[in-house]
Structure formats: C-alpha cells, structure tokens
Amino acid sequence: MSSEIFFDVLNCHCKDPASAGDETICTFQVTVYRSSKVDSQPGCFYLFALLIGIKMIPYTVSPYAHIIETRLVPDRISHRVFHQLTGEVFDLSKRLRSLFLSLNEVKRLSLTEEDLQNPKVENAQIRRLVEGEFLIPDGCDPLASFMDRYVVRPMQNPALAFRSAQGDMLLVRTSMAHYLFSPGKSELPTVIEERMSRVSAQVFLLADGSKTLREIFETLHVSRGAKISEEPGIRDAIEFLTSPERQLIKFTSRREDLSDPYTPVNAVPRSLYRSSVWKPQLSTDSSERIVDFHLHGIEDASWEFDWIETTINHAFRFPTEVLGGLDYGSRFCLSTLKPDVLPSLGNSDRLNVLEVGGGTGTFARSFIEQALDFKRTALEGIDVNYHMLELSPALVENQKKLLSKYLPAVTHFQQDATKFDLPGHKFGLIVANEVVADFPVAPVRRASANEPGDKKNDPPARKSRVWNGDGAYYVEKYDLPVDDAPDSFLVNAGVFRFIERSWEHLSPGGTLILSEYGGEHRHPAQLYNLNHDEFSIHFGHAIACARRVGFTCRLLALKEFLGMDDEVLMLNGDGEHLLCLNHIFEKFWMSLPYAAISKKDFEDRFQEVAEKIGLVGFSFSPLRMGTHFGPDENGFMVLIMNKPK
C-alpha cells in the first residue's frame, strides 16, 4: 500500500502507513482538482498538478515540533503540538494529530497557496501550523528564520547553571518533557546535574534576551555570513539547549514579550499528568469523596501543602515585606480586628474565635501571637479564646503539636464544617481561610421545554426558567442570581450549608469571614491538578445566600483586605525551582523553604554564594505577576459577613 499524502477533488487524505488496510485517518477539504485517470496512482498527482499549472509546495514537520498530552481531567486526553524554539502551543484535533503522526512516516505534505487561504476550519488550522513553522517547506533549514530573533532563557524553566570549582559550567535541572501533579514522596521530579559543553554554556549565558541568534554567533566569533549548518558545535549546542526535556532557551522577535512570564517565549510546554497517594473509592457523590479525602487522604501535613495543595497562608508563613514585615496569619489578624470588620469588638471581655480548616496550624499560631501582641493596645482587657474545627485527623494532630504551648489552650473539634454542630458554643468571629473550595457542589440544569422541572404545576410561561438537578433546591431557596447562567452549571452547596451553620454559632454582632479563590459572577469550576475535588467559589451566590440567612455582606479582593504590596519583587518559580536551587545551595550548607521569597530576602541570604559560583537561571517578578511559589493572589477574594446585634 502507498504511504503518501495525496489530494482528491474535495479532500486531502492521510493514509496510515502502519495500518493493515488503506484506512483514511485524516481528511480535510482542499480546492485542487484531479483527473480520474490518475485516481489509482496518487504518486502521479503531483506531476499532474504541475502540468495544469498548479504550484504545489511540499512541507515537512519541523524537527522542533513535538506532540504533548494532558491527562488531568479524568477519562479525557487532550493533545497539543508545541514548538520547542518558540514555546508556541497549538491545540490538535484528532484528525490533525493523525496528520502529524502520518507525516512522521510520509515526511511530505504538498499544499497550494489556495489550500492555505481556504477559509474552512481545518485548512485555517493547517495555515496556522505553517505560519508558526510547525510545518516548514521541504529542504528548508528549520533554524534559518530564527537568526534575527532574540534568544532568552524561559522564565518558567527551573533550570540553573553554575561554575564548578574546576571551572566547568554545570547544569542543574528537572525534566521539561513532563510534569506530575500531586506527586507521592517517591515521585518528586528527579534533579539532574550535567556538564555543559563550552559552546552550549556560552550560548546559555548569552541568552539573556539582549541578543539575537545572529549576534550570539558574532559574539562567539562565528564568521560573518556562515551558515549554522556549517558551524560544528553550534547546531549541537542549539539541539542540546532546546531539546524537549531541557527547553533552556527560546526565540522571539518581540522584545516586549521578554518581561511577561506568560508569553510563549517564557513558557515550557510539556505533557501533564496527575498522581495521588490517595486512591478514592469510586463514588458519584462529591460530598462523599471530599469527606473521604480529608479523613483518609492526608498523611503528611507538610507534604500536602509543600507539594500538593499550597495555600497563600503556607506560601507566606514567614514574615515578608509583601505584608509589611508580617506573615500571612499575623496580617490577617490585624485586618480582621478592626471595627468595620468586627463591630462587636470591645463589647465583651472575651473574643471567642473559631478557625475552620486550619491546615498545618501556622495560620492559628500567627493569628494568636498577633492577637496577644495586639491585646496590649486595642484589645486591652479582652481575652482571645481560639478554637479550631478540622475534619482531617492528620491535620488535627499537626495543629495540636504546633499550638500546644498557648494559653488559654486551643480547643480542637473534629467535624465536617458543612454540618458542624457545637452545642453551647457561640463565637464572635468565625474564619474560614482557603478551605471552602473543598466543600461539595451540586449540579443545576435548565429544564427543557417539555420537562416539568422541579416545581410541579408550573405554568407554561415559567417552564423555560425552571431548573433541575440537586442544586435547583438552592437556586430557589436563596433566590440565587441565574439570569446569566448557562444551561448547566454548579452551585457551591457546601458553602451555603456552612454559612447557615455559622449563623447558628455566631453571637449577635459576630462576624464570619470567608477567604478563597473565585469571582463575584463566575460559576464554580473544578481544579483538576489536585489529588481531590476542589471548586472555585461563586461569591455572588454566596452573598445571596448570606443575605437571605440574615447577614450584611462586604466583598473585597484579598490583596485589598490584607494591604499586600503588589510591586515587591519575588523569586520566580514553583517547587521544582526551589528543588533545583536547594540542590546547589545544600553544597554550601544552605537551603530555601518551600515558600514565597522576596528578592530582598533571597539576596540577603544567598547573593554572596550566587555570585561566587556564577549562578544563572533565577529571576524575579513583581508580586502582581503571580509567578512566585504558591497560588496567584489575584484570583482570591474575602467575603465579610456580619450578624446584626
């Protein structure tokens, strides 16, 4: 059977050379015509096209184009192609993926200019692949068009280079070919240390975004006008530095792209997978899965927040200039103990605080210590009694150890926050910081015209506005705003139940504070990179519920609530970057914690060593860019709910 790509009257066919038959695995419309006389001889069609005056250009897949996959969403695999020189990513349909796989065998795809201008969707996608140089003219040097582009070290790559005592340039990296979310302790990225060749090291060091590839050639004294293919060592260095498992340099024609961490030139596209130490029982009930995870899925508190579910509190658990020299819990305390947030403050000689879902206990520790310090001024004469409500046994134990020294003693309750019941306990303040996203959701679906909906005997005029599903109960009960809702969506059912339980446990004049990621008008969306179910918060719905219950409400951005300094320069990179940095710094008996680290803190502790060894590969960006260790604060909000006296 033939393993060529050829054209017919309406379609371009890719035949799978590995299949037993002539199965067509990719078809897209083109505008070239052929004679039926050459129908059985596709190899003759190219000659036929030339004879009738059609100019056809043969294309091949660039050696720098690679297919990557994502397996984060259960039972769904998506494929993309990325260009390892630019970082550009292109989503692949099943048919385009088949085309790429076939081209690995067939090598050539011939297209006309008319094909590339055809407005049909798949033709437009092929045109984009050509424009992005994923497909290049046959025989073209894939590096030739990059000579006048700037060369940069991608900001999102955790790799570092340093000079050894022997004068060699050593590369420290993890694989950029794939990434595993929610790793177990035996699944951490492997740190690789390897010696760089002299040319590779020179190109890597020069790739600071200030020079084009041509200028780097000139700096390396490559003769003017020389072709890259004629320079031994140069092409090998480019291959080494741009390989999918390294992605150490990329190219761009736009200088303005260099400072944006999210532009393709600063990205490192790779295959994404998810692991988990916790293997849940199969259940369609999200409430059961979430409770089961907190009871059995968390084994090591520090590991959970270092590598699985990093919170803003965990990232900023050390004093930082971002928070005016305080840590997260201390700053949260000061922002909370204000009359406009806690109007009941000072009306009693005791403030009973309940923290819901306390993580490792660092938030509570900082809150308590700041409150004790504050007691000497604004809280003079007021005793602060701290209580914690937590479902996870592992986290409860960690909290008890961390908070055992405080008096009065912290009281611990192990309960599900969406059903919590503490008879005889009333609180002046309930804080749920970065926990309510773990609460279950409920689906809502618009009833079709011939469905009765959940409300029986609805008049015909109402049927298009009736909702079905488990979440429809909450839509009606709290009169949730759904005018802009799609035909199906989720509601934060667990949050609504928690707000009601909090109302029952708050003293008159008390305050409930929720801090979490989400938006005022965005429906809940699932986060798939964790080892458990987690959903963003629709704060508009939470406000509707809270007001129906009886609260007065105020919604703020978390940055505004805490007074975070957006312009503080922070060390770029996640856990992988810290892993690579520690691999080097541990040679000098130093290490960084898994936390957000400002440029000032980094330089105070590590600059001397970094300069001594010529460390390259670390960088800093303003906090507002959200590229530091931990979540991006820009997506977090604070809902303050006050219970009238």
pLDDT (tens digit per residue) in 15-71: 444 444 444 334 443 333 333 333 334 344 444 444 444 567 788 889 999 999 999
Cβ neighbours for 92, distance < 8 A, ≥ 6 positions apart: 67, 79, 80, 81, 100
Q: What pLDDT does 6 receive?
A: 39
The three-point CA angle 626-354-499 to 5° equals 75
The token pair at 394 is 């592992």
How sure is the predictor about 229, in pLDDT bands with cuts at 50, 70 and 90? low
Closest CA to 385 of 410, 421, 402: 410
Q: What is the Cα 219 distance to its own chain's centre?
A: 38
The pLDDT score that the predictor gives to residue 9 is 31
Q: What is the pLDDT of residues 301-312, one digit of tens each?
A: 999 999 999 999
**Distances in whole angstroms, Cα of residue 535 to Cα of each of 286, 381, 398, 451, 475:** 11, 41, 25, 29, 18
| pLDDT tens-digit readout, 298-354 | 889 999 999 999 999 999 999 999 999 999 999 999 999 998 999 888 777 789 999
Residue 434: pLDDT over 50: yes
CA distances from 211 to 94, 156, 230 (A): 39, 20, 21
DSSP string, 620-634: EEEGGG--SSS--GG
Q: Are 167 and 195 in contact (CB under 8 A)?
A: no
What is the dihedral angle through the alpha carbons of 235, 264, 572, 309, rounded to the nearest 10 degrees? Answer: -120
Query: Alpha-carbon distance 351 to 512, whole Å?
Result: 13
- The CATH number of 290-441+492-564, from 3.40.630.30, 3.40.50.150, 3.90.420.10, 3.40.1030.10, is 3.40.50.150
Q: Report how far residue 133's alpha carbon sits from residue 142's, in angstroms, rounded to the nearest whole number.
A: 8
Average confidence (pLDDT) over 168-177:
96
pLDDT of residue 308: 92
> Which is nearest to 336 in space by CA: 437, 412, 433, 435?
433
Query: Comparing 229-238, 366-375, 623-632, which segment has the lowest mean pLDDT?
Result: 229-238
d(CA 442, CA 535): 11
pLDDT, position 110: 75
Is residue 457 predicted with pLDDT exceeding 60? no
Evaluated on CA atoms 624, 625, 630, 631, the torsion sign reads positive
Delimit the CATH 3.40.50.150 region(s) of the chain: 290-441+492-564
Q: How far apart are CA 390 and CA 304, in angstroms?
A: 15
